[in-house]
Structure 1
């Protein structure tokens, strides 16, 4: 059994852990929302003690100058990429929404902690609207872009979209909407589908995502599709009518969500997520710094479906 520290890394929300070759890389939102930090270690257990390296800081002005959210690190075609959301203002604008768009950095050096990062600009999609939480993955010999965005014609804050990538910083073809907030548990506080993450097992590809407001209502939902099916056909996708990972009042773990997936060196699948250990939040939950990174193994049932279980209590 892995008795990981819980919290695993404090005050790091929207956590992403990449196992690349034999090294673990960690990136997440920092409470100041002003920079991108990477840390690296040979083992998963050593990540909390690894020294963070600041690889990019937001400029004073411009489209990437405010609220740097939910970065992810990926290795595509021999180069490193960081995908992150940024805004030009902290104001909620006339639509009462944040004004984030998705941006990309590229590094061609071997070590992303010490290498040179180049700004590749904004990823343009079908709408010029609030978007965030992009990830990328390889499937059926294609590279895919998966993200959350506001459709001006659909109620709510964000839906989940998928598109094939032309380059690591651009998409091609017509994006397809995989999910929108429709169940009661996706619409508590805010109508939200965001933070998609990809994992495969057996003959299926799974997409987890987060729903509702970022307080104790925050939770994780699940989509899946057969590996051989065409992912651009919405009818091939399935959606769980119930959340798969929710607040545990018994264990004092509130609002588990915005997850990624990694693996142990032994091949066990690990859920990486954030949660708070209290509910008394003053002001906007986004500015409460104590969404801590946490880890939990997931298992697979006899039908090949993931079992997320219950968020474990703080340990030790």
Structure 2
């Protein structure tokens, strides 16, 4: 009898642990109550996460699994000196680990949007939550035009930055530009325009300012395929969506080698109650076996560009032709399996 009770107890105990583990391995969106422009970097067992928090400072979060982002360690890492050209409207920070140092790239201005430019800070510590963050300066090509949403990546052992900018000095259209980098804090040569909002779905401004938008570019590579995923139509509209550029050669600075796909690849799902899903980034699961998209979206039509945007994530796959298949934005009511971890 004693052995029978022990066996039953053991079965219930392991069943309890299994159910508990299953609960720990699921999550639902959003990852945080609010936060636009989500980005993460995985380094030595931790994700370091950033998003726009508004105002005059930059913040990092640290977690072993992005499904547990709410419980992650949080730290304000940078607040620029007041009354400078980069002291206000800090937007879309991205945290990167390059050549043994940490960098955060972000857009900022002096309170006047016309003066938005890209800036970068650096930290030599092994852990970006430790050490000192130092201001490295502005990232600009000789033309020094309006710039936001910078993304930095390496392709064939060369660093590049892509961003959203104006052709001239007045708002009206945002294009996607690219330039080589001399080092992680210096652009090299002239900028090259590789995308403009020319398609009907990219030019829906829905009663807001009549501005046509390509922004939030993100580098994505899969095998020998190279893509840039970008956001288009105004964030103030319910039509804010993701589009796709595909490289048709090896010269990233040749606009003719970038093919634009005619339709958006990720867009509003009224059925699932997800509106304006865009300004995204990508990451892999802790075990490196799954591909995931991070993005922000609204729960209701008309929520626009304000603080109601919240970060979300979901797994994605690849089409037979090698292009990303992002699927449909999932409902906040749906339970999802957390990114897979090493056994």
Tell me the TM-score normalized by structure 1: 0.91
Corresponding position of 1:299: 317
Alpha-carbon separation, structure 2, partners of 1:255 and 1:53: 28
Aligned to 2:191: 175
1:25 aligned residue = 48
Cα distance in 2 between the residues matched to 1:182 and 1:154: 18
* One of 144, 159, 164 as aligned partner of 1:143: 159
| 1:41-80 aligned within 5 A | 41-80=63-102
C-alpha deviation, 1:46, in angstroms: 2.3
Q: Which has the larger radius of gyration?
A: 2
Deviation at 1:270, TM superposition (A): 0.5
Query: Could you tell which deviates more after superposition, 2-11 or 289-298?
Result: 2-11
Question: Does 2:210 align with 1:210?
Answer: no
Residue 181 of structure 2 is aligned to residue 165 of structure 1: yes
Equivalent pairs, count: 304
Q: Secondary structure at the match of 1:46?
A: helix
State the 1:60 CA deviation. 2.3
Query: Which residue does the alignment assign to 1:261?
Result: 282
Aligned mate of 1:274, from 287, 296, 317: 296
Question: How does 1:215-230 map onto structure 2 within 5 Å?
Answer: 215-226=237-248, 229-230=250-251
Listed as ranges, the matches of 1:231-246 within 5 Å are 231-246=252-267
TM-score in terms of structure 2 length: 0.84
SS of 2:70 mapped into structure 1: helix
Unpaired runs of at least 5, structure 1: 93-97
Give deviations 1:112-154, integer Å, cap 9, x for gaps.
Answer: 1122000011112243322100011111111111111101189
In 2, Cα distance between the equivalents of 1:216 and 1:292?
Answer: 15
Which residue of the partner structure matches residue 18 of structure 2? Answer: none
Instruction: Specify whether residues 63 and 229 from structure 1 end up closer, same or farther in structure 2 by C-alpha distance, changes over 3 A only.
Output: same
8 Å contact kept, 2:267–2:329: yes
Go from structure 1 to structure 2 and tell me whether the alpha carbon gap of 1:143 and 1:157 turns closer, same or farther (over 3 Å shift).
Answer: same
Check 1:9–1:165 CA distance in 2 against 1; reply closer, same or farther (3 A cut). Answer: same
Q: CA RMSD, aligned part only?
A: 1.9
Whose helix proportion is higher, 1 or 2?
Answer: 2
Q: Is the 8 A contact 2:142 2:189 kept in 1?
A: no
Tell me the secondary structure at the aligned position of residue 85 of structure 2: coil
Q: Return the alpha-carbon distance in structure 2 between the equivalents of residues 140 and 128 of structure 1.
A: 26
Identify unmatched segments of 5+ residues in structure 2: 1-21, 206-210, 335-343
Q: CA deviation at 1:222?
A: 0.5
Superposed CA deviations along residues 264-287 of structure 1, whole A, max 9, x for unmatched, are 123211010000001244xxx33x
Q: Distance in 1 between matches of 2:193 and 2:142?
A: 11
